[in-house]
A = this chain, B = another copy of it.
Amino acid sequence: MYRRVKELGVVSEGILIDQIDPSSDRAVFRQIADQLRQAIENGRLREGEKLPSEAELIEHYGVARMTVRQAIQELRNEGLAVAEHGRGVFVRRRPPVKRLASDRFARRHRKDGKAAFLAESEAVGAKPQVDHIAISEMQPPQEISERLRIAPDTTVVARSRRYLRDGHPVELATSYIPVEIARGTQIMEPNSGPGGIYARIEDQGHTLERFVEDVSTRMPTREEAKLLNLSAGTPVFRLIRTAYDLEGMAVEVCDTIMSGDAFLLSYELPAH
């Protein structure tokens, strides 16, 4: 009356072949997850294809509903599957990855009047958009004031925006700029003008010399997941970029959250 083996009917395009090994130490829901994972990894289930429904899995393995739901939950956490209410569970489609090369902030890319994100996206044929622009003066978090080398209670101009590619949000960014540089410039306007804020900073006499990018990864907060429309099992990049001028002054810090499945960061390092 426990873990009865069904007649070996081919269920759902022949994905379900194996049964559970009741003698195994491995939890039943993990064994089910293992079999589905294998089907995904070896291509028997391709991107976008529907997994067997909960009802089919219950029938095939002869287990309770919670057990198959745990198995599916595991695949969702791993980023292998996504559930769509009322439709089914599907093998996760991997969105095309955008490669960001380390020369993306080179001045020549700014010359033609395009900000970095717009130029990059157009280069791969994606339609770039920017929304949710908010500009304010505020006291930045400690991580930012440290990088700007200013006292913790100093006010800076913060410029937040969200970037979309082909209508899908992929990146949240907030730039922090010392007020002495930003005040009275187009940096305070939603449209920062040709070449973006880096061009405006250079207009102010701060010729940019180098950037430092600190990259980390983690799971998104709920807020980030909502704004980037992330499905379960998608981590984010946190990228903090500090811009320095010729005098070595930190003139901007940009704190960016990027959808982890939408970017590949490419950096070049000299061997000296």
> For this complex, into which size category does the number of interface residues on chain A fall?
35 or more
With both chains docked as a complex, state the minimum distance between the C-beta of A241 and any C-beta of chain B, in angstroms.
Answer: 8
Which residues of A come within 8 Å of B, CB atoms? 37, 66, 73, 77-79, 97, 99, 102-103, 105-108, 208-219, 221-222, 232-237, 243, 260-261, 263-272
Interchain Cβ contacts under 8 Å between A and B, 26 examples: A73-B73, A77-B232, A78-B221, A79-B218, A97-B216, A102-B269, A103-B272, A107-B271, A210-B268, A210-B269, A212-B268, A212-B269, A213-B269, A214-B264, A215-B267, A216-B260, A216-B263, A216-B265, A217-B217, A217-B237, A217-B260, A218-B235, A218-B260, A235-B235, A243-B271, A267-B269
Q: In the assembly, what is the distance between CA of A137 and CA of B226, in Å?
A: 46
Chain B residue with the shortest CB-CB distance to A266: B214
| Chain B positions within 8 Å of A214 at CB level | 99, 264-266
Which of B73, B108, B211 sits near A268, CB closer than 8 Å? B211
With both chains docked as a complex, state the minimum distance between the C-beta of A258 and any C-beta of chain B, in angstroms.
Answer: 9
Q: In the assembly, what is the distance between CA of A1 and CA of B234, in Å?
A: 39
| Chain B positions within 8 Å of A271 at CB level | 105-107, 208-211, 243
